[in-house]
Structures are given as C-alpha cells and as structure tokens.
Amino acid sequence: MKIQISDDKPIPPPAKRGRPKGSSKYPIARLSVGQSFRISADAVKPASVFSMVSRFNRALAPKKFTVRSTPRGCTVWRVE
C-alpha cells in the first residue's frame, strides 16, 4: 500500500448535521397556554420526551411545559 502526501490541499468546511438551530420536529414552541399535542408510544421512548420537555423549559423560559405518559404515548401541554 502506497500513501501519497499532499501539500497545500485546502481543508473543506465541517459538515452541518441535525436540524437548524431553533427548529424541532415537534410543535412545542408554537403551543399557546392550554394547548397540547400527543406523541404515540411507538414513535419515541417516554424518557426522550421528558428530556425534550426539560430542554425546552430551559430554552423557552418563561414558557413552561409539562408531559404525562400513558400506555398510548406521551402528551405535552403548555402550562404558562
């Protein structure tokens, strides 16, 4: 195996991964007080939904959200 060494080859910019900043696949940021949405149990683990709601409570303060888990899935409400 022969490896060639190159000089003056530019480094490409890093690849962008994931969603753009401020976007989410769930409509949590668009909820008004009292509104909710449900995520089915087969779509995501409840622990992931609880983690997401915790992140959004910090990122979107003073808005407040809560989540409840049922056998059918998780429901997220905006409470403040």
Span 22-72, pLDDT tens digits: 677 899 989 999 999 999 988 889 999 999 999 999 989 999 999 999 889
1 belongs to a structural domain: no
**5 or 79: which leads in pLDDT:** 79
Domain tally, the chain:
1
74 belongs to a structural domain: yes
46 belongs to a structural domain: yes
Task: State which residues form the domain around 41.
Answer: 29-78
Using a 10 angstrom Cβ sphere, with 0-12 exposed, 13-18 middle and 19 or more buried, the burial of residue 26 is middle
pTM, two decimals, is 0.72
Backbone φ and ψ for 39, nearest 5 degrees, come out as: -115, 125
